[in-house]
């Protein structure tokens, strides 16, 4: 009998859901179910800021962390609502791309990775209906040296996976047609570092947990804990969520929960894990292109659809609506009629956009066509974010380099 099942992240917690707001000019209503993502993103950003305060700018800079960029990450989010589809997706944001430390980037990276592997799984299942997904977890003995324990885990898993190639192999992995797995690290003062692996195996029948435990102990010598369970379709999942997403979410969650680590352990784990490939695959799952860390927005529909852009800014521990911009695919630079495009709203304290400020968008990261003299709100937000980052870095550098004054008696 395996260990008790722990609570697993849901696809919604990994921000895999899209909004489906009704037809209205109210920004909260336009966000629909995506409004809940703002709460999770705000919580993650607040936790990251608190973590950076605990670590300290000096220690973070010595570890090679881009302090200013991490602190500014997620200071603005641009969501795009598609009225004809009833969907709202994250178009872009100022990402720091440091998923090992930044909770917001960790959420977005996990969501994008899960979406891509679910897409591959759907294609595999369509051509191989006899294959089923199974969640397999491997652990090794805890230890105080993270680098040694992680290397032991990686080397052991590589040896185990190589057994599937033997012509006379009796390994349980011979019947595995594909796999994707990720490394996760946790820490406790009592037990030290606990690196482990969550994998999804594709097979016609469920792999034997007893057989895998025997093989794993034979390879690792110090560990035998292996847990195997089927990933079943969730029939209650919403129409826009893959029924297998809940099981896949376990594999694509955080590699490291930075907010739960002591400052010294966060720096230690970052130094060990940075630059390492923490998601691997073989067989039918091999070759999935991982998302660009600099572009962690959602995949967007065709660019010729009408849309409404919703700009949100982080302030006081939460996201507040700053601007709403509307665009029709038929908008022309010359001779616009009043109904072609309009600024729907602007939050108090933010300048409202005129029809000339509107733009047509492309997919995330793509080019955007604008009219002469037109102001692109997304580019404006990016420019402001870059200026804020430069200013913050100057402040940090000055604070660190300023020598302490002589001691004075009071």
Q: Kindly report, residue by residue over 184-199, the tens digit of the pLDDT.
A: 999 999 999 999 999 9
**Confidence class of residue 13 from pLDDT cuts 50, 70 and 90?**
very low
Q: pTM for the complete prediction? A: 0.76
Whether 251 shows a pLDDT value over 50: the answer reads: yes
HEC string for the chain: CCCCCCCCCCCCCCCCCCECCCCCCCHHHHHHHHHHHHHHHHHHHHHHHHHHHHHCHHHHHHCCCCHHHHHHCCCEEEEEEECCCCEEEEEEECCCCCCCCCHHHHHHHHHHHHHHHHHHHHHHHHHCCCCEEEEEEEECCCECCHHHHHHHHHHHHHHHHHHHHCCCCCCHHHHCCEEEEEEEEEEECCCEEEEEEEEEEEECCCCCHHHHHHHHHHHHCCCCCEEEEECCCCCCCCCCCCCCHHHHHCCCCCCECHHHCCHHHHHHHHHHHCCCCCEEEEECCCCCCCCCCCCCCCCCCCCCCCEEEEEEEEECCEEEEEEEEEECCCCCCCCCCCCCCCEEEECCCCCCCCHHHCCCCCCCCCCCCCCCCCCCHHHHHHHHHHHHHHHHHHHHHHHHHCCCCCCCCC
Mean pLDDT over 107-118 rounds to 94
Mean pLDDT over 159-177 rounds to 89
């Amino acid at each position: 009998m395996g260990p008790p099942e722990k609570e697993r992240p849901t696809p919604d917690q990994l921000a895999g859901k899209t909004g489906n707001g009704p037809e209205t000019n109210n920004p909260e209503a336009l966000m629909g179910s995506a409004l809940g993502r703002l709460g999770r993103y705000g919580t993650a950003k607040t936790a990251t800021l608190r973590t950076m305060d605990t670590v300290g700018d000096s220690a973070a800079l010595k570890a090679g962390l881009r302090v200013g960029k991490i602190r500014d990450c997620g200071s603005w989010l641009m969501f795009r609502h598609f009225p004809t589809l009833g969907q709202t997706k994250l178009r872009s944001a100022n990402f720091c791309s440091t998923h090992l430390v930044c909770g917001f980037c960790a959420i977005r990276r996990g969501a994008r990775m899960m979406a891509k592997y679910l897409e591959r799984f759907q294609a595999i299942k369509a051509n191989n209906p006899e294959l089923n997904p199974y969640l397999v977890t491997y652990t090794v003995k805890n230890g105080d040296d993270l680098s040694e324990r992680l290397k032991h885990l990686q080397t052991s898993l590589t040896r185990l996976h190589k057994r599937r190639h033997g012509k006379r192999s009796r390994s349980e992995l011979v019947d595995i047609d594909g796999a994707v797995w990720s490394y996760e690290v946790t820490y406790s003062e009592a037990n030290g570092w606990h690196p482990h692996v969550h994998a999804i195996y594709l097979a016609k029948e469920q792999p034997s947990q007893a057989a895998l435990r025997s093989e794993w102990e034979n390879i690792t010598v110090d560990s035998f804990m292996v847990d195997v369970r089927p990933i079943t379709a969730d029939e209650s999942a919403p129409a826009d969520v893959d029924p297998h997403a809940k099981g896949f979410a376990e594999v694509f969650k955080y590699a490291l929960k930075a907010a739960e680590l002591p400052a010294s352990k966060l720096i230690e784990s970052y130094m060990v894990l940075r630059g390492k490939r923490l998601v691997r695959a073989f067989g039918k799952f091999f070759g999935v292109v991982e998302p660009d860390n600099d572009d962690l927005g959602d995949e967007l529909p065709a660019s010729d659809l009408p849309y409404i852009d919703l700009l949100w800014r982080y302030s006081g521990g939460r996201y507040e609506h700053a601007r709403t911009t509307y665009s029709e695919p038929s908008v022309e630079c010359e001779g616009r009629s009043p109904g072609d495009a309009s600024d729907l709203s602007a939050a108090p304290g933010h300048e409202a956009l005129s029809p000339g400020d509107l733009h047509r968008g492309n997919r995330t990261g793509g080019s955007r066509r604008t009219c002469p003299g037109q102001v692109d709100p997304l580019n404006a937000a990016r420019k402001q974010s870059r200026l804020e980052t430069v200013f913050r870095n100057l402040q940090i550098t000055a604070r660190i380099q300023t020598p302490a004054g002589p001691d004075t008696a009071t």
